[in-house]
Amino acid sequence: MLTRKSSFAAKNKMLVCLQLVLICILCFSKNSFSQKPERQGNILKYNGNIIEFAKPKPQSSIEEKDSVTGKTHTQKINWADPPIKLNGEKIYEYVYSKNVSKPTITGNDKSLCNYVMRNMETEFAKLKNGEYFLVISNVIINTKGSIVYFENDGIFHVGAEIDKTQKLVKEIDAKLYNLLNNSEISFQPAMLNGSPVNYLISNTVGYTNGETTFRVKDHKVKWYRIEEQ
């Protein structure tokens, strides 16, 4: 009957089920936190760190004239909002911060770009023939010389669309995430007046001045340009 009290065994079974559900929720939450940063406004929580971004500037626009048609059109501009603080402490940049030395790699790689390209070459060689570029931005290196945050903007095929859903592209994204999130590379931290400071590499591997980062031909990779600012 519906009014009958639950037996001791039934109660125990219910408690076990509730415990299992709670464990699943906690595990899922932990996994989601490690994969997807939680950003509220200009504050982002990532792997136990609190990152503060510059407040977004209002969108602006410029007038551009088409060289072919001669018509003028409005081009909207969205201003970047870079990270400016890590756990309440300022993040420095080489261009905008005077007397700050860049962090230097302690291993054999000459730059973070070189480290990425060397470790990703096997995956890049599986791509179709063509020219590609990879953009990794907002790399934050803390006072201990560790990478604590980065943004993977993805791989791009020059002159062609790339299917972001294809298995190989997903594998490249996954390996790149693990490569930098669990990076074995270490740095001598950036220094200011003899003290280590947090540092931002705004662009790590990019497509600039019309030059591509690397070319794939017959499953061989040739590095054309490595950009780091």
Average pLDDT by stretches of 10, the chain with 229 residues: 42 40 36 55 91 78 68 65 94 83 84 86 92 88 93 86 86 90 83 94 67 86 70
| β-bridge pairing 187-188 and 100-101 | unpaired
Tell me, what's the pLDDT at 113?
82
Beta partners for residue 90, in sequence order: 85
220 Cβ contact list (under 8 Å, min separation 6):
125
- Residue 169: Cβ-neighbour burial (10 angstroms; 0-12, 13-18, 19+): middle
Backbone dihedral angles phi then psi of residue 17, each to the nearest 5 degrees = -60, -45
**Biggest alpha carbon–alpha carbon distance for the chain:** 84
Separation of alpha carbons 185 and 178, rounded Å: 12
- Predicted local distance difference test score (pLDDT) of residue 61: 62
Let me know the angle formed at the C-alpha of 229 by 33 and 181, rounded to the nearest 5 degrees.
25
**Residue 30 confidence (pLDDT):** 35
- Answer whether 222's CB lies under 8 Å from 214's CB: yes
The pTM (predicted TM-score) of the whole model is 0.71
pLDDT score for 212: 67
Rounded-to-integer distance, Cα 194 and Cα 141, Å = 17
The amino acid present at 38, given as its one-letter code, is E
56: which residues sit within 8 A by CB, 6+ positions away? 42, 79, 81
